Amino acid sequence: MTAIEMRSDHLLPPPPSPKSQVAWWGMVLFLLNEATLFASLIGGYFYLGVGNREWPPAGTPKPELRLPLVMTALLLSSSIVLIVGEKGFEQGKRIRYRVASIITILLGLGFLFVQAREYADKLKAHSPTENAYESIFFTITGLHGTHVAFGLLFLLWALCREWSGTTHPRYPLAIKNSSLYWHFVDGVWLVILTCLYLSPRWY
């Protein structure tokens, strides 16, 4: 094929990439949608905050940092492990992917376990129906926890797909999309940590 033909012909396939797959695009749009949902709620958090004289209101302590920092460490390390696993799959090291995926799932379960502990501590003295601050706090963190749980099911599903041999080596979309979702949930947690846990210490 000559150079001129290569330029004029619309029928030349580019190298395959999971990122040109329609399902990858669908996932990206879905995540933009999800990000906007969290943005709306966090916007609501600050809107309510501006309308109150003190935020958190008087009588409500600023959220504890100890457990949330443990949770952050768990999620961040899980994302890193998962990236190692993804790279492994791309290089044909399927065992590495499986091990990384299982470790990710365990770290994610750890996150949910610690979050349950944090909730239990908080619920001893306060309830989500007490005031607008507690309501929006539990709503945002609870929604995120639900996303973590769904992310775990998604990762588990992708692992089953890989195990059963129904993942295409060149287009590992199940792996790509579930990982993307997991990294997204991880990123949202960093935003929540900043806005809900850290920001009350700055004003």
Partner 1 sequence: MTSTADRISVGTDPLRTRLTDLWETPHTWLAWLSTVDHKKLGKRYIYTAFMFFIAGGIEAAIMRAQLARPENRLIGPDAFNQLMTMHGVTMMFLFAQPVLSGFSFYLTPLMIGSRELAFPRLNAFSYYVFLFAGLFMYASFVVGQAPNAGWFNYTPLASVQYNTGFNIDFYALGLLFLGVATTAGACNSIVTILKMRAPGMSINRMPLFLWSSLTMSVAVIFCIPPLTAAVGLLELERRWHFVFFDPRFGGSALLWQHLFWVFGHPWVYIVFLPATGMLSMVIPTFCRRPMIGHTFVALATVTTGLIGFGVWVHHMFATGLPQLSMSFFSAASMTVSIPSAVTIFAWLATMWYGRVVFATPMLFAIAFIVQFVIGGISGVMTAAVPFDWQVTDTYFVVAHIHYVLAGGTLFGVMAGGYYWYPKAYGRMMSESLGKLSFWLMFIGFNVGFFPMHISGLQGMPRRVYTYSVASGFGPANLVTTIGVYIFAVGLLLSLWNAIRSRVAGQIASRNPWGAATLEWLAESPPEHFNFAHIPIIHGREPLWDGAFEEGPAYDETRLTPRTSTLDATLEEPIEMPEDNLWSLVLPLAMLAATVGLLVRSLPWTIAGVVISLLSLARWMWPSNTKTLETET
Interface with partner 1 by CB under 8 A: which residues? 10-14, 16, 20-23, 25-26, 29-30, 32-34, 36-37, 39-41, 44, 47-48, 51-52, 57, 128-133, 135-136, 138-139, 153, 157, 161, 165-168, 170-171, 173-174
Give the span between the Cα atoms of 139 and 1, in whole angstroms: 60
Q: Residue count of the chain, please give it.
A: 203
Minimum distance from CB of 85 to partner 1 (Å)?
A: 19
Cβ proximity to partner 1, 19 vs 124, nearer residue: 19
Minimum distance from CB of 154 to partner 1 (Å)?
A: 9
Give the span between the Cα atoms of 128 and 140, in whole angstroms: 11
Minimum distance from CB of 54 to partner 1 (Å)?
A: 9
Minimum distance from CB of 191 to partner 1 (Å)?
A: 14
CB 117 within 8 A of CB 74: no
Give the span between the Cα atoms of 184 and 186, in whole angstroms: 5
Cβ proximity to partner 1, 82 vs 173, nearer residue: 173
Minimum distance from CB of 70 to partner 1 (Å)?
A: 27
Give the span between the Cα atoms of 106 and 156, in whole angstroms: 11
Cβ proximity to partner 1, 16 vs 61, nearer residue: 16
Cβ proximity to partner 1, 41 vs 106, nearer residue: 41
Minimum distance from CB of 158 to partner 1 (Å)?
A: 10
Cβ proximity to partner 1, 55 vs 111, nearer residue: 55
| Both structure tokens of 60 | 């409500």
Cβ proximity to partner 1, 48 vs 70, nearer residue: 48
**DSSP assignment string, 116-173:** HHHHHHHHHH--TTSSHHHHHHHHHHHHHHHHHHHHHHHHHHHHHHHHTT-S-SS--H
Which residues, at least 6 apart from 8, have a Cβ–Cβ distance to it below 8 Å?
none
CB 138 within 8 A of CB 126: no
